Amino acid sequence: MYTRLKTELELLKKESMLRSLAPVTSIEGAMISLENGRKLHNLSSNDYLGLGADSLFQEAIKEQVQSYMLTGSTSSRLMAGNYPIFEELEAELARAFRQESALTFVSGYHMNLGIIGALANSQTLILADKLIHASMLDGLRLHNCKFERFRHNDLAHLERLIQKYYTGYSEIVVMVESIYSMDGDKANLQALVKLKKKYPKLMLYVDEAHAIGVRGATGLGLAEEEGLIKDIDFLLGTFGKALASQGGYLICKQVVKDYLINHCRSLIFSTAMPPIRAYYNLIVFKQMRAMTKEREHLNSMSERIRKELKQLGWETTSQSHILPIIIGSAEDTMLYVQALKEMGLYTLAVRPPTVAQGKCRIRLSLTFTSPEDLIISSIRQIKKLSPHKNISNLNTLNKAIKH
């Protein structure tokens, strides 16, 4: 086995597809320090509101959470791990979203892995957008759910599938992300809600992992921005991105929560999140709702950079603070990433299997503290290199940058 693994890794390396754990020695403010001591602006983070990098905030919150020193829950919530802080956090979430109930999970991955498989039975069909996050797909596969995928954001295709299967199932759940993590585009929630009204068997499962904190008047996500919270049956998100923490949450009806407590294996068979983490989540969630200025700044900066990308002729699918620059081959993408590094920007290449072959991209993930002007000047500079599709090596690229 060792020889086979080694051979496969060597092949990945040859194809510029090898992943490794990049050595990050520290993160100070919005800067990331690499092993060689270089400090770069971090454009790969999901710390959209800058909370994780805000040392004052972190210091203040440390003082608050010190009163809550339980670092481990030491058992599942179904055993002896259901500390009052979990109930408090969930009550706050339900109150904020003005819905019946909320349920939290150790991570967004656990949440998506467990929920749909627990709820579905042989009469449930799931229609999933082609680009849903791996955690949802893993949940569908793990539980042998009946599912079909519709072309990304293609609601005409979705409706054809609904019509095809409508009489064969008693429940149809449509699974989408509100803002897609790799394309930065949005689901058309208004149109989805219209479909739900047209086809009463339809339910909506919307993952707001990349919209919580960023969209909506009080940061509750795209469903809040569009006034549709009450129309979404399963509204989910994570504490791991804009909230600079960890954990997942589901906003739902009480009956769904009760059912999941009895059937959701990723909730039942895993140690509950540490109480200190739940306490932090409660504080940061409340704090996030008031961060209107940060949200406005992030969204206007995103719009300016998006416009610039389009004017320069870069291909991007973005409708948000996530701005992919679609390059094509893995090799070219790696070279552009290296060029941006030279200019002081830390970005990551996104390659298969995360995205389709030939759709490799640089993903600019903007945060409140991103250096707007430097980003604009850098994307102008690297554009001078395209459409040189046959960039053959880094030296050529570096020479061209300096030229």
Ligand X SMILES: Cc1ncc(COP(=O)(O)O)c(C=O)c1O
Nearer to ligand X, 266 or 370 (CB): 266
Longest dimension (CA), the chain: 65
Q: Which of 50, 248, 274, 324 binds ligand X (CB under 6 A)?
A: 248
Would you say 155 and 188 are in contact if contact means Cβ atoms under 8 Å apart? yes
Return the range that interacts with ligand X (CB under 6 A); candidates 15-23, 107-115, 212-220, 330-338: 107-115
112 binds ligand X (CB under 6 A): yes
Site for ligand X in 132-151 (CB under 6 A): 133, 135
Looking at beta carbons only, is 110 or 306 nearer to ligand X? Answer: 110
384-392 contacts, C-beta under 8 A, 24 or more apart? 385/336, 385/339, 386/314, 389/328, 389/332, 391/331, 391/332, 391/335
Site track 228-247 with ligand X (rule: CB under 6 A), x = hit:
----------x-x-------
Residue with tokens 């709820």: 119
228 CB-near residues (< 8 Å, 6+ apart) = 189, 190, 193
In the complex with ligand X, the residue whose CB is nearer, 133 or 295, is: 133
Q: Which stretch binds ligand X (CB under 6 A): 30-38, 103-111, 310-318, 349-357?
A: 103-111
Measured in whole angstroms, how far is the alpha carbon of residue 44 from the centre of its chain?
Answer: 12
**Shortest Cβ distance from residue 175 to ligand X (Å)?**
11
Single out the segment in contact with ligand X by CB under 6 A; choices: 25-33, 82-90, 96-104, 106-114. 106-114
Whether 286 and 92 have beta carbons less than 8 Å apart is answered as yes
Rounded to a whole number of angstroms, the minimum distance from the CB of residue 127 to ligand X is 17
State the minimum distance, in angstroms, from the CB of residue 37 to ligand X: 29
Shortest Å distance, C-beta 174 to ligand X: 15
Of 84-92, 96-104, 108-116, 323-331, the window that binds ligand X (rule: CB under 6 A) is 108-116
Cis? peptide before 387, omega within 30° of 0: yes
Say if residues 212 and 243 touch (Cβ distance below 8 Å): yes
Q: What is the dihedral of CA 222, 49, 252, 228, to 10 degrees?
A: -20
The closest residue (CB) to ligand X is 108
Within 149-188, the residues that bind ligand X by CB under 6 A are 177, 181
Looking only at residues 193 through 222 of this chain, which bind ligand X when binding is defined by CB under 6 A?
Answer: 207, 209
Interface size with ligand X, residues (CB under 6 A): 13
Alpha-carbon distance 246 to 109, whole Å? Answer: 10
Q: In this chain, which stretch among 50-58, 102-110, 303-311, 316-324 interacts with ligand X, using CB under 6 A?
A: 102-110
CA gap 340, 361 in Å, rounded: 13
DSSP sequence for 194-254: HHHHHSTTEEEEEE-TTTTTTSSTTSS-HHHHTT-GGG-SEEEEESSSTTSS--EEEEE-H
Could you say whether residue 104 binds ligand X (CB under 6 A)? no
Name the residues that contact ligand X, by CB under 6 A.
Answer: 107-109, 112, 133, 135, 177, 181, 207, 209, 238, 240, 248
